[in-house]
């Protein structure tokens, strides 16, 4: 049971998907074995030395095709596409980072430079949104790209809070979700799960956990965050949501705004990409400031993401 739990955490999947994956492995192996025997029986009249020499070679060739075929039937094609791509990367001598080791991310590497810029492919750019709450920003981003004729696709919602509103949004839009736990996120960053989902770019939209260094290293210049203040002011650990607006009002600020920035291994310290500001009236409460910030977030976040990815 412990080994099963470890595999579930490593792959970032729940019990149902885990057993679908294991079923795909089993059925794919059986199918490749069956096809192997049928082909060899057509070629050889008897099981001689040549038969047994070719048997494992042909089986090795047939196995990935068989597994991919079965994965369509079990609904696990996305997982096995990444899994087999990673196997191929290792066999061909690639490293284990997002830019070179995996088949799916080898595609990504051809599309992007180290700054995340697109290099001309028309293949989809798969984006994951990380969110912890109601998901109003996530919803606006999803709807923005639903109505745009670009190659950008919101392909995964990652959440750390069971029952969060963003999960309902994902369900209504037919977008797969990945639930994560803090210890596994801190240790692995769920990098393998993101690779298996063919994710090329990450957007933090109200995600409250610190991004671990392992994930930052896997997606250099590939993770952006939005902060509800004009950084470097009112940023850092513990400064999020209403806490930021309360601090801004308490300080008597006349202006606040939003900051969209690259994510590094520290809270709110990545390079700034875009800022927009709004005024604060003396009578404004933290809730009123929050409403103004939401307007700016909904207005600017998705277009800024588009500009980054479509350069």
Both 133 and 188 in one domain: the answer is: yes
Per-residue tokens: 71 = 């994965």
Give the pLDDT confidence of 175-215 residue by residue, as tens digits: 999 999 999 899 889 998 898 888 999 999 999 899 999 99
Both 238 and 290 in one domain: the answer is: yes
Both 298 and 169 in one domain: the answer is: yes
Per-residue tokens: 87 = 């196997």
Both 46 and 115 in one domain: the answer is: no
Would residue 84 count as lying in a domain?
Answer: no
pLDDT in the model for residue 106? 32
Contact present, 83 and 172 (Cβ < 8 Å):
no
Q: Which of 200, 227, 245, 261 is catalytic?
A: 227
Nearest to 21 by CA among 32, 34, 33, 10: 10
- How would residue 36 be classed by pLDDT, with cut points 50, 70 and 90? very high
Would residue 60 count as lying in a domain?
Answer: yes
Ramachandran angles phi, psi of 47, nearest 5°:
-85, 80
Nearest-Å Rg of the Cα atoms of the chain is 23
Both 171 and 66 in one domain: the answer is: no
pLDDT in the model for residue 121? 46
Q: Which of 55, 75, 95 is the last residue of a domain?
A: 75
Tell me, yes or no, if 200 is annotated catalytic: no
Both 115 and 59 in one domain: the answer is: no
Angle at 187 between CA 154 and CA 176, to 5 degrees: 20
Both 59 and 109 in one domain: the answer is: no
Would residue 204 count as lying in a domain?
Answer: yes
Both 118 and 38 in one domain: the answer is: no
Angle at 201 between CA 6 and CA 144, to 5 degrees: 120
Both 157 and 296 in one domain: the answer is: yes
- Residue of 124 and 15 predicted with greater confidence: 124
Both 34 and 107 in one domain: the answer is: no
Per-residue tokens: 125 = 């750019």
**Is residue 100 predicted with pLDDT exceeding 80?**
no
Would residue 172 count as lying in a domain?
Answer: yes
Would residue 93 count as lying in a domain?
Answer: no
Would residue 269 count as lying in a domain?
Answer: yes
Would residue 193 count as lying in a domain?
Answer: yes
**Is residue 94 predicted with pLDDT exceeding 80?**
no
Both 294 and 225 in one domain: the answer is: yes
Q: Residue 17 is part of which domain span?
A: 2-75
How far, in Å, CA of 107 to CA of 22, rounded? 27
pLDDT in the model for residue 102? 33
Q: Is the pTM of this model over 0.85?
A: no
How many structural domains is the chain composed of? 2
Contact present, 128 and 166 (Cβ < 8 Å):
no
**Is residue 77 predicted with pLDDT exceeding 60?**
yes
How far, in Å, CA of 24 to CA of 68, rounded? 9
Alpha helices in 134-178 (DSSP H): 136-146, 165-173
């Amino acid at each position: 049971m412990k080994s099963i739990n470890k595999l579930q955490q490593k792959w970032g999947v729940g019990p149902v998907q885990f057993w679908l994956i294991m079923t795909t492995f089993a059925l794919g192996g059986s199918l490749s074995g069956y096809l192997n025997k049928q082909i060899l029986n057509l070629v050889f009249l008897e099981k001689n030395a040549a038969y047994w020499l070719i048997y494992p070679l042909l089986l090795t060739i047939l196995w990935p095709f068989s597994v991919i075929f079965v994965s369509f039937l079990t609904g696990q094609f996305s997982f096995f596409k990444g899994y087999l791509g990673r196997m191929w990367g290792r066999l061909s001598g690639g490293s284990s980072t997002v830019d070179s080791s995996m088949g799916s991310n080898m595609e990504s590497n051809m599309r992007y430079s180290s700054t995340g810029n697109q290099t001309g492919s028309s293949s989809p750019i798969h984006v994951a949104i990380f969110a912890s709450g109601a998901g109003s920003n996530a919803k606006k981003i999803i709807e923005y790209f639903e109505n745009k004729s670009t190659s950008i696709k919101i392909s995964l919602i990652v959440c750390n809070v069971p029952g969060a509103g963003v999960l309902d949004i994902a369900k209504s839009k037919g977008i797969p979700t990945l639930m994560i736990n803090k210890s596994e996120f801190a240790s692995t960053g769920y990098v393998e799960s993101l690779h298996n989902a063919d994710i090329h770019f990450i957007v933090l939209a109200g995600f409250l956990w610190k991004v671990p260094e392992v994930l930052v290293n896997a997606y250099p210049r590939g993770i952006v965050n939005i902060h509800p203040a004009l950084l470097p002011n009112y940023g850092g650990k513990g400064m999020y949501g209403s806490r930021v607006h309360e601090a801004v009002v308490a300080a008597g600020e006349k202006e606040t705004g939003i900051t969209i920035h690259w994510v590094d291994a520290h809270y709110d310290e990545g390079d700034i990409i875009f800022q927009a500001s709004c005024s604060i009236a003396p009578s404004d409460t933290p809730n009123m400031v929050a409403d103004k910030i939401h307007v700016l977030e909904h207005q600017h976040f998705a277009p800024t993401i588009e500009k980054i990815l479509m350069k």
